Amino acid sequence: QVQLQESGPGLVKPSQTLSLTCTVSGDSATINNYYWSWSRQPPGKGLEWVGAMSFSGSLYYSLTLKSRTSITRNTSKNQFTLQLTSVTPENTAIYFCAEHDISSSGSTLDYWGQGTQVTVSS
């Protein structure tokens, strides 16, 4: 079982950088093909995909956020981070991290963190 936990400040001021960390724990040792991702859910709206990093380090970003988004990882700590620059109140949302495991047969298994509220306000 894989567990994920988001952490970071709950309040960010406009124009500043939002920075979140996802800590991954548990046993996914048998999986050698996976993606780590970030998604968010603004108030009253659906889930929006933000970006992802593959196990090999390839990066994929939402086209609407690509210019302001960066995903990095620290493999020694089994953590990955999200940075979103120049935030506005529209970036207020619950942010979720996830791991998507892909088996050799092509089936997928998703694990999600509980989410963390980030509010952009002065």
Question: Which tokens go with 11?
Answer: 């309040």
pLDDT band at 30 (very low <50, low <70, confident <90, very high): low
3-state secondary structure of 68: helix
104: β partners? none
pLDDT band at 1 (very low <50, low <70, confident <90, very high): confident
d(CA 116, CA 27): 23
| pLDDT attached to residue 41 | 98
> Which of the 8 DSSP states describes residue 44?
T
Question: Which tokens go with 18?
Answer: 């939002």
Location of structure tokens 């089994």:
78
φ, ψ for residue 93, nearest 5 deg: -175, 170
pLDDT band at 31 (very low <50, low <70, confident <90, very high): low
73-96 residue pLDDT tens = 998 999 999 999 999 999 999 999
Mean pLDDT of the chain: 94
